[in-house]
Structure 1
Amino acid sequence: MAKKIVFTGGGSAGHVTPNLALIDELKDCNVAYIGSKNGIEKNLVTAHGIEYHSISSGKLRRYFDMKNFGDPFKVLAGVMQAYWLLKKIKPDVIFSKGGFVSVPVVIGGWLNRIPVYIHESDITPGLANKIAIRFATKLFVTFEEAGKQLPKEKVVYTGAPIRDVLLKGDRKKGLDFLGFSGSKPVLLVMGGSLGAKKINDVVRASITDLLKKYQIVHLCGKGFVDAKLAETPGYRQFEFIDKELPDVMAASTLIVSRAGSNAIFEFLALKKPMVLIPLPLHQSRGDQILNADSFKKKGLCEVLDNDTLTPGALLRTLDRVYAERYDYRERMVKAQGATHGIKNILTELNK
């Protein structure tokens, strides 16, 4: 009989796309997904034709908000919904990628005595996974150093689950899509699914100097396209790119990005030299700073501080990384073991 696996995770694309990468490889398993009613995960999962179930989900905040008084009841309702839903589905295992909606599913699985496997992308767990860890059977980690501060008996180092489609991009198709000649190195700038205003502003302030050396594709986020630069030769801007992204990444020579774990391990898998600008502490819990610092120590990237970022600093750093691009790629080849997450996770799921 085929194994049944329930996946959960949501709130951002980073909590969903690794699940989809794993699901794509599960040819002989019955798969279902439990997510929130209105989260980003619903559209992403149903677009893949995967059986989807919705539960109540409250947000777990680290700051004061009047909604904090009502959300625990939403979480409790979600636990009860997940409990009965899992009793009906009867999965052999639950796989959670984190996010607020995963907590009721993990607890519901624990109450049903279903093995629960969690994957943590960052060096330190987010709030949802901090709660869920105590109910988990195993905890898979992307960074080796993450295991130092987590329950040793549960931790399994797997590396990052990389979407196979990203590894199949075509450089020529990417250049054709962008309308680039390829006569200059291609600089890909991306600030995450929501964009990054500081990165957008500094790149655009540097555009004249940057275009002397690079052709630029800029994923600037929803609502951040600059109409004044729409006809600038050698500069293409998009709110986001979906199906063409593997080809665009194949065409790229250098990447400027935030330091979300999923993204930077994808760059590593593609052996793309990168300049990382992590979210600062006043906008995050500091996970991207730790991610970037880990890559920097291994010689896999250069890091710039968001709050002190200037056009001059960006230009100088890009020029240095480009000049040393072959050294970066050589170190990335040696670090490829960290990108075998799908194979390692599937091995654990099939035990």
Structure 2
Amino acid sequence: MKILFTGGGSGGHFYPIIAVAEQIEKIASTDKLLPPSFYFMAPEASDERMLYDHNIEFLEVPAGKLRLYFSPMNILDIFKMIAGCIRAFFKMFSIYPDVVFGKGGFGSFPALLSARILKIPIVIHESDSVPGRVNKWAGKFADRIAVSYPEAAAYFPKERVAWTGQPVRSGIRPRQREEADRFLKLEPNVPVMLVIGGSLGAEKLNDVVVNSIGELLSNWQIIHQTGRANLKDVTDRANVTVEDKTFLSRYHPFDFMTDSALAMASGAASLVVSRAGSSIFEIASWGVPSIIIPISESNGNHQRANAYRYAQNGAAIVIEEMNLAPHIFITEVEHIRGNENLRKSMSEAAKAFHRADAGEKIARALVNICINHGGK
């Protein structure tokens, strides 16, 4: 049973693949199938440790990004994409997997095109409420299509699409608050705000947190994922901004949070502040109230659509980037902190949004295709 995963561009394309791989391993063990062989074809490994832990072989294939605006990089990326497609074809031919699972993003194009040419079964998954360009294209010939938002199903042939929800990896399930307090050295009776800017961090989120931190730390402890390139700058600015240094111990910046750290932080969090990518589904799985700040420049306004769709049932409050001033941010944060009934209703709405069996459903579809493909 050989399964090739592909997806590229961000952690939002990568981490759901890990969640699906976990479920495939469980199914293979429960159904007494031969251990699966996993491959991940993309421009970069995203998280080498994760790949190693799940015995996923990384196959590096370049991919160019086609921008919707003029850029000299478009010319270079055309040649990069051609080279990537050629390399992907020969790698795919040598492995000849039973099925290819695509998560979208420009990095998945070479693998999906190669699978199409070689007539290898294809399953794709779309995480956004409005599908990206690669998945819209692949949806025309994919054997199965899974979507995280029911609205996205309208963009694909109805006989081949299913609303599964978003796979969330088991490693970030929330831990007990007491365990998180010990691990992160938190004060037990002070509420915790978790700020996650996606796998690469988010400068505008960092800015509003740093500019608000002087007022927030009197009522909050803040766990802040800054992004690897931003940690020193954010930490230095926070040290200057906070006038009452006795509260600085309540600020916990991290460049990147491992699954264990996220599991601890989510178990302690009373509020999550995040972008509107795949992290929405992680927040929903935690059942924690959130403030969602979509990227204004995201392709096709995908993040904005995601944010308002998630907030529609009361799980989150949305602040647009144009309104992301410290006084507005602090007002919304304190409004949530001071209203227990609101926090409870937001938590319940988040839990209702989460579909816990998403990874299992997709994994089962992939295993069934593998079994049928292997018998041909």
Question: Which piece of structure 1 moves more, 315-324 or 136-145?
Answer: 315-324
Task: Determine the structure 2 residue equivalent to 1:226.
Answer: 235
My pick for the range that moved more, 87-96 or 172-181, is 172-181
Hey, what does 2:18 align to over in structure 1?
Answer: 20
2:256 is aligned, of 236, 240, 243, to 240
Give the gaps of 5 or more residues in structure 1.
Answer: none
Partner of 1:169: 175
Distance 1:285 1:44 in 2: 30
- Normalised to the residue count of structure 2, the TM-score between the two structures is 0.85
Match of residue 133 from structure 1: 139
Residues 265 and 339 of structure 1 are in contact (CA less than 8 Å); yes or no, is this contact kept in structure 2?
Answer: no
TM-score where L is the length of structure 1: 0.91
Please tell me the residue identity of whatever aligns with 2:14: V
Q: Is the 8 A contact 1:10 1:39 kept in 2?
A: no
Query: In 2, Cα distance between the equivalents of 1:283 and 1:118?
Result: 21
Q: Is the 8 A contact 2:136 2:155 kept in 1?
A: no
Q: Are the counterparts in 2 of residues 160 and 265 from structure 1 also a CA contact under 8 Å? A: yes
CA RMSD of aligned residues (A): 2.1
Residues 171-190 of structure 1 mapped to structure 2, 5 A cutoff: 171-190=177-196
Match of 1:252 in 2: 269
Q: Tell me the equivalent position of 2:350.
A: 332
Residue matched to 1:211: 217
Q: More displaced, 271-280 or 10-19?
A: 10-19
Give the whole-Å Cα distance in 2 for the aligned partners of 1:113 and 1:316. 55
The structure-2 alpha-carbon separation of the partners of 1:197 and 1:70, relative to structure 1 and needing over 3 Å to count, comes to: closer
1:266 deviates by 0.8
Report how far residue 89 of structure 1 moved.
Answer: 1.5
Partners of 1:125 and 1:284 lie apart in 2 by 10
Moved more, 130-139 or 240-249: 130-139
Q: Distance in 1 between matches of 2:153 and 2:66?
A: 24
Q: Deviations over 1:234-278 (max 9, x none)?
A: 111121211322111111111111111x21111111101001111
Identify the match of residue 199 of structure 1 among 205, 210, 222: 205
Q: Deviations over 1:36-79 (max 9, x none)?
A: 45453666534644222222322222222223224333323333
Q: Which is further off, 120-129 or 200-209? A: 200-209
**Who is 1:146 aligned against?**
152
From 275, 295, 298, the counterpart of 1:279? 295
Residue 93 of structure 1 deviates from its aligned partner by: 0.9
The Cα of 1:228 is off from its aligned counterpart by 4.7
Report the AA paired with residue 246 of structure 1: A
**Is the 2:38–2:56 contact (alpha carbons within 8 Å) kept by the matching residues of 1?**
yes
Aligned position for 2:81: 75
Hey, what's the Cα distance between the residues in 2 that align with 1:233 and 1:171?
A: 18
Q: Which runs of 5+ in 2 are unaligned?
A: 29-34, 240-244, 369-376
2:286 maps to 270
- What is aligned with 2:94? 88
Deviation sequence 1:190-246 (CA, Å, 0-9, x none): 222222222222222222221222111111222323225356131111212113221
Name which of 315, 334, 343 aligns with 1:300: 315
Counterpart selection for 1:344 from 345, 361, 368:
361
1:294 is aligned with what amino acid? R
| Residues in 2 aligned to 1:42 and 1:61: alpha-carbon distance in whole angstroms | 28
Moved more, 158-167 or 318-327: 318-327
